[in-house]
């Protein structure tokens, strides 16, 4: 009936549906990761790194640094996100620097990452630097698809994360952690706890029987992130092979490296 279609309440509902659909599409576009690939596409080992625009220029060097440290063949996938604080954060938290709060988009980001891990004949490793390192750790609590976690200078100061680690069970059997020896020497009261937090996280994982290492690098948070992340991926790759051969090796956690 014409009266029904001309009724203002009807058109209000139609408009609400259109706006809702547009917002959903916009959100999906915002969360869509862009993929960059390196290495052997047919390799049995697949390294997946969450990254951002600020890291793209260092990816090729990172891949070369991984190759320098291991002879194991690999495919390297860099998944770029646009909204770093939203797409990589497991839950909402207030800003600790600047005015940008942390969102809770990690679950939706992980859904997209898992679409890259459908070949059950492959071994998948997840990793990243800073907040991407935190995301990688968190992801290993959500799924058992990742054989190892390469968390270089992860943002384990993130509010509530160490408590989360202790309240849940990680599914990856191999975890690499690292931190710069000057990263905790900052005035920010939250981020300055990163040294205590990563030590607590390492202690907890080893107590739980996880094959985990904590490596201390020289410098602050912004020193050689590509090399630090390369060391992380090379370690989990090599360690996985050692474990399969029945050999367990962990570097001295107090060792300071200058690579």
d(CA 243, CA 239): 6
pLDDT tens digit sequence for 50-102: 999 999 999 999 999 999 999 999 999 999 999 999 999 999 999 888 888 99
Q: Are 208 and 245 in contact (CB under 8 A)?
A: no
- With 0-12 / 13-18 / 19 or more C-beta atoms within 10 angstroms meaning exposed / middle / buried, residue 12 is exposed
How far, in Å, are 61, 118, 185 from residue 236 at the CA level? 18, 20, 28
**pLDDT for res 248:** 57
Q: Are 249 and 239 in contact (CB under 8 A)?
A: yes
**pLDDT for res 241:** 76
pLDDT tens digit sequence for 145-197: 999 999 999 999 999 999 999 999 999 999 999 999 998 988 888 899 999 99
d(CA 86, CA 208): 30
When the pLDDT of each residue in the chain is averaged and rounded to a whole number, the result is 86
Structure tokens, 101? 């709060």
- Which of 79, 89, 83 minimizes the C-alpha distance to 27? 83
Does pLDDT of 36 surpass 60?
A: yes
Residues contacting residue 168 through CB under 8 Å, at least 6 positions apart: 141
Q: What confidence tier does 244 reach under pLDDT thresholds 50, 70, 90?
A: confident
Q: What confidence tier does 133 reach under pLDDT thresholds 50, 70, 90?
A: very high
């Amino acid at each position: 009936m014409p009266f029904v279609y001309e009724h203002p309440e009807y058109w209000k509902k139609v408009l609400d549906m259109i706006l809702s659909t547009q917002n959903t599409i916009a959100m999906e576009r915002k969360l869509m990761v862009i993929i960059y690939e390196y290495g052997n596409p047919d390799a049995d080992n697949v390294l997946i790194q969450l990254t951002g625009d600020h890291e793209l220029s260092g990816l090729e060097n990172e891949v070369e640094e991984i190759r320098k440290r291991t002879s194991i063949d690999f495919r390297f996938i860099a998944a770029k996100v646009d909204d770093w604080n939203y797409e990589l954060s497991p839950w909402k938290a207030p800003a600790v620097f600047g005015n940008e709060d942390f969102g809770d988009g990690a679950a939706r980001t992980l859904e997209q990452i898992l679409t890259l891990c459908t070949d059950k004949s492959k071994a998948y490793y997840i990793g990243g630097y800073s907040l991407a390192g935190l995301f990688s750790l968190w992801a290993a609590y959500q799924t058992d698809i990742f054989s190892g976690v390469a968390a270089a200078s992860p943002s384990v100061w993130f509010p509530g994360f160490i408590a989360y680690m202790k309240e849940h069970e990680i599914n990856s059997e191999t975890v690499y952690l690292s931190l710069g020896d000057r990263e905790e020497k900052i005035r920010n009261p939250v981020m300055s706890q990163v040294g205590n937090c990563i030590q607590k996280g390492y202690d907890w994982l080893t107590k739980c029987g996880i094959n985990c290492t904590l490596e201390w690098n020289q410098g602050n948070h912004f020193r050689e992130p590509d090399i630090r992340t390369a060391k992380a991926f090379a370690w989990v790759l090599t360690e996985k092979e050692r474990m399969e051969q029945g050999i367990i090796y962990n570097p001295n956690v107090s060792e300071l490296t200058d690579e």
